[in-house]
Amino acid sequence: MWYFRSPEIVFGEDALDHLDTLQGKRAFIVTDPMMLELGFVDLVAAHLTDAGLTVGTFPDVEPEPSVQTIRTGAEKMLAFEPDWIVGLGGGSAMDAAKAMWALYENPGLDPADINPFEPLGLRRKARLIVIPTTSGTGSEATWATVLTDTAENRKLGTGSPEMVADIAIVDPALPAKMPPRLTADTGLDALTHAIEGYTCSLRNDFSDAVCLKAAQLVFEYLPRAVKNGDDAEAREKMHNAATLAGLGFGNAMAALAHSMGHSLGAIFHVPHGRAVALFLPYTIQFIQRGDAETRFHEISRFLGLPASTPDEGAISLVTAIRDLSREVGQPLSLKETLGDGVSRADFDAALDALVANAEADSVIAMGDRIPTTDEVRQLFEYAYEGKNIDF
Amino acid sequence: MTDKIDFGTEAWIQQLMVELNNSEDYAEAAKNWEGDIYFVVEPKGSQLTEKVYMYVDLWHGKCRHAEVPDDPTKFKPEFTISGTVKSFKEVIDDGLDPMKAMLTRKLKLTGNMAKIMRNVKSANQLVHCCTFIPTNFPLE
Ligand SMILES: [Zn+2]
């Protein structure tokens, strides 16, 4: 027994118009200052007002939203009493909206106590709409939320199946203004979701289907979207790819590259997509060297890459990911990622914490090979130097 | 051919303690784990006549104590994992992913969830040790 959970997905040109048909009284938008600046908050609020709703806004979600922000937003929500919550923005805003919703429905709940194993009792007060403005996080399609515990410098990856949004508006006009670097970072996050979703231990026929399609779209359209932000077709395909990949890993799981990427993000504040995509080729090499049967070659075969054996398929996939990363201007080693501002000594000093954080991330155990503590350390070290994995 | 040990008995939990303490993989994966657990076996659909409580005290990669107490109130463990004999069999014998078993509520978990989520590696190795025990599951 297993589930495939999905919001109602409204996609394509003018998808935002769907908001005009909402039934309800009060909508509360959870978003970030950039969305205000870009005019997206006004745009969404206008649609909600057209639908006859009174609109409130919490525009203060920061990148990597903290537990404190969640508490503050939930308090504002309790005062406003919405029957619709609208998460507008990238992964941070949508994740924050989900977590605030959980606290709004359960006042006093500690965000750390949100978990997928116990009922959360959502939808007694409100339902959730998510509107992604980047193409990558997939948060619009998943039940996960990643918060930062600023006191412990640690990411808190949690969620509940009830936190899958009711409606996801996947309108390609919104990500059209993303600068190239953000387009690349988020697009490679989507690719990592597709590949880890397809190869993690909770994979299934339903998630497989969307993961393969998502991976194909990213390889085909990400370079175009990065090179020319006005390429409307590439923007639309990448927006769809991100949501498909979200459905894929959201109904399966993420894996090792995400545990390492979360850890790196918490300590060195590398953007999420850049971090996970950096580690992805190394983790594929590592998993492929294990005893378990793998299926990276199935992805390669679907993409039309050389894959006559599982090993050849895995190598092809690693090469294709690195070629794509280069094409869209992404770093291939951790050293290159961290840049001149971080010395080898800084990296070495952080290594224990990087390893401990990655090991404490539940998705570390979701691949076909689970690394020991020493192997996690080596993975970070090899990734730092840009060395192929040989253990 | 080794004789099979009935699941839900003192002999079984003692064997689990042996397997855990013999496993380098468990010792490695659970080196930071502190916490005791009740495995609560529900009698539904089995030959058991009442709930069985199997206790293990897990401490830094080792099992310090294992027991099926006559009186379940004897221990107040930090975690309980409850399920029917069939559900435990699916995880131990049939390869059902323990995370999946918990997400579908076949196994119910109580205790500090955040702590479990930070220790999925050790939970996996714990289940792996269970698979080494030649087990007879007393289904109906
Ligand atoms: Zn991601």
Query: A186 CA distance to ligand 1 centroid (A)?
Result: 8
A364 neighbourhood in chain B, CB within 8 Å: 120-121
The three-point CA angle A110-A84-A80 to 5° equals: 65
State which CATH number among 3.40.50.620, 3.60.15.10, 2.30.42.10, 3.40.50.1970 fits the domain covering A8-176: 3.40.50.1970
Give residue-wise pLDDT tens across range A229-245: 999 999 999 999 999 99
What does pTM read for this prediction? 0.94
For the record, the structure tokens of B55 come out as 């206790």
Cα-based distances in Å from A101 to A16, A56, A198, A241: 22, 14, 30, 26
Rg of chain B on CA atoms, in Å:
14
The domain limits of chain A are 8-176, 181-385
Going by pLDDT thresholds of 50, 70 and 90, the confidence category of residue B116 is confident
Reply yes or no on domain A181-385 having CATH 3.30.530.20.
Answer: no
- Strands (DSSP E) contained in chain A are 8-11, 26-30, 54-58, 84-89, 127-132, 144-149, 154-159, 167-170
> Which of A206-210, A291-295, B76-80, B109-113 is predicted with the least confidence, judged by mean pLDDT?
B109-113
B37-82 pLDDT, tens digit per residue, is 999 999 999 999 999 999 999 999 999 999 999 999 999 999 999 9
pLDDT at residue A151, rounded to an integer: 79
pLDDT of A164 reads 98
E strands, B43-88, are 52-59, 62-67, 79-84
Nearest to B103 among A117, A359, A370 (CB): A117
Give mean pLDDT, residues B76-104.
94
Q: Does A324 have pLDDT greater than 60?
A: yes
Provide the pairing of β-strand B5-6 with A144-149: unpaired
Cβ-contact B96, A96 below 8 angstroms: no
Residue A118 sits at the chain B interface (C-beta within 8 Å): yes
pLDDT, tens digit, 9 for 90 and up, residues A177-205: 999 999 999 999 999 999 999 999 999 99
CA distance A87 to A127: 11
> Tokens 């009698």 map to which residue?
B43
What letter represents residue A238's amino acid? M
CB contact under 8 A, B99 and A366: yes
Q: Which helix (H) or strand (E) holds A351?
A: helix A344-359
- What DSSP state is assigned to residue A371? P
Q: What is the mean pLDDT of residues A276-281?
A: 98
pLDDT bracket for residue A266 (50, 70, 90): confident
- In the three-class reduction of DSSP (H, G, I as helix; E, B as strand; rest coil), residue B44 is classed as coil
In this prediction, residues A321-349 reach a mean pLDDT of 96
Per-residue model confidence as pLDDT tens digits over A120-159: 999 999 999 999 999 999 999 999 998 888 877 677 888 9
State which amino acid sits at residue A139: S
Residue of B97, B108, B114 with shortest CB distance to A201: B97
**pLDDT band for position B16 (cuts 50, 70, 90):** very high
Q: What average pLDDT is seen over chain A?
A: 96
Measured between beta carbons, which residues in chain B are less than 8 angstroms from residue A370? 29, 121, 124
A82-86, A286-290, A366-370, B75-79: range with lowest mean pLDDT? A366-370
CA A347 to chain centre: 25
Can you tell me the distance from the alpha carbon of B127 to that of B135, in angstroms, rounded to the nearest whole number?
Answer: 13
Whether residue B2 has pLDDT greater than 70: no
Does any CB of chain B come closer than 8 Å to the CB of residue A369? no
pLDDT tens-digit map of A165-174: 999 999 999 9
CB atoms B118 and A362 under 8 Å:
yes
Return the CA Rg of chain A: 20
Report yes or no: A265 and A271 within 8 Å, Cβ to Cβ.
yes
Q: Does B124 touch chain A (CB under 8 A)?
A: yes
Domains along chain B with CATH numbers:
5-130 (3.30.1050.10)
At B1 the pLDDT is: 53
Q: Which residues of A are less than 8 Å from B106 in CB distance?
A: 1
Give the integer Cα–Cα distance in Å for A293 and A302.
18
Q: For the residues of A275-321, what is the DSSP string, one character each?
A: HHHHHHHHHHHHHHTSSS---HHHHHHHHT---SSHHHHHHHHHHHH
**Cβ–Cβ < 8 Å for A327, A223:** yes
Give the distance, in angstroms, between the CA of residue A116 and the centroid of all CA atoms in the same chain: 18
CB contact under 8 A, A202 and B124: no
Contact A332, A385 (CB under 8 A): no
pLDDT at A65: 93
Enumerate the residues of chain B whose CB falls inside 8 A of the CB of residue A361: 118
* Mutual angle of helices A205-227 and A232-250, in 10-degree steps: 150
Tell which of B79, B80, B117 to mutate to test the A interface (max A CBs under 10 Å): B117
- pLDDT value of position B133: 96
Token pair of A346 as six digits? 């800084």
* Ranges A166-175, A364-373, B33-42: which has the least confidence: A364-373
3-state secondary structure at position A268: helix
Q: Tell me, in angstroms, the distance from the centre of ligand 1 to residue B72's CA.
A: 43
ipTM summary value: 0.87
**B113/A1 touch (CB, cutoff 8 Å), yes or no:** no
- Indicate if the pLDDT at residue B115 is higher than 90: no
Q: Could you tell me whether strands A54-58 and A127-132 are parallel, antiparallel, or unpaired per DSSP bridges?
A: unpaired
